[in-house]
Homo-oligomer: A and B are copies of this chain.
Amino acid sequence: MAETEGSFTRARLEAFSDGVIAVIITIMVLDLKAPPGAAPDELLALWPSFAVYLVSYLFVAIYWINHHSLLGLAARVTPLLIWSNSLLLFFLSLIPFSTAYVANTHLAALPMALYGVVQFLCGLGFAVTLSVITADRKRDEAFQTRAAARVRKNLISLAAYALGVVVAFANPMLSLAIYLGVSIAYVVPGLFEASSDRARNR
């Protein structure tokens, strides 16, 4: 009994994180308020809200997929891992807020900058969790090499988010394009890399 008291399985950490991410990705749409009237103008006025909702959905979907792969790297579930994962989920939970803020204000400068700050924080939470996992597998050299590649990719996206935040004050639309670009840069190579990886194992 004593052994199981304090232990936490990776399966449960994943299941809880999946639950939180499933709720985040779904409640965002609650802020996409349906127009009170049926006039076409009222519907068309929603396009900036819809565009930012689409970007946020893509962003959270990418985090969901990468989060799975992230936890798969962990040698074991330590209290530091649980807490860095909670920090990452906290930053992700701010996405519906920043999405609604941008949508409410029709892609204004300050909200678009804040949107980028939240995406930066999510990237940071991811980097912290990755480094907690890496620190726990110090002696595994093959792992360290692969982790270094991930860290580089992570740092590049953090730099891009920071750039987007600055650009937001000059041109919010360009800033949104940068945020979207980072997401696409995550999705597209994954589709091919992974496919070719697996083709070999067929």
Interface residues of A (CB under 8 A from B): 1-2, 4-8, 12, 14-16, 18-27, 29-40, 43, 54, 57, 61, 64-65, 68-69, 72-73, 76, 78-80, 82-83, 86, 89-90, 93-94, 96-98, 100-101, 103-105, 108-111, 114, 140, 142-143, 187, 190-191, 194-195, 197-198
Given contacts A16-B22, A20-B25, A78-B194, contact A36 B1 (CB under 8 A): no
Given contacts A40-B110, A80-B195, contact A93 B190 (CB under 8 A): no
Is the Cβ of A27 less than 8 Å from the Cβ of B31?
no
Interface hub of A16, A89, A114 (most chain B Cβ within 10 A): A16
In whole angstroms, what is the CA distance A57 to B177 when docked?
A: 31
- Given A7-B72, A16-B18, A35-B105, output 4 extra A-B contacts at Cβ < 8 Å: A5-B73, A19-B22, A25-B93, A80-B191
Is the Cβ of B65 less than 8 Å from the Cβ of A82?
yes
Contact partners of A5 in chain B: CB under 8 A = 69, 72-73
Contact partners of A86 in chain B: CB under 8 A = 61
Is the Cβ of A79 less than 8 Å from the Cβ of B190?
yes
Is the Cβ of B101 less than 8 Å from the Cβ of A29?
no
Is the Cβ of A23 less than 8 Å from the Cβ of B18?
no
Interface hub of A23, A80, A198 (most chain B Cβ within 10 A): A23
Is the Cβ of B12 less than 8 Å from the Cβ of A68?
yes
- Cβ distance A150 to chain B, nearest Cβ, rounded Å: 10
Which B residue's beta carbon lies closest to that of A39?
Answer: B110
The 9 listed contacts between A and B (C-beta, < 8 Å) are: A4-B72, A5-B72, A15-B18, A20-B22, A20-B25, A26-B93, A29-B97, A57-B93, A79-B190
Is the Cβ of A6 less than 8 Å from the Cβ of B69?
yes
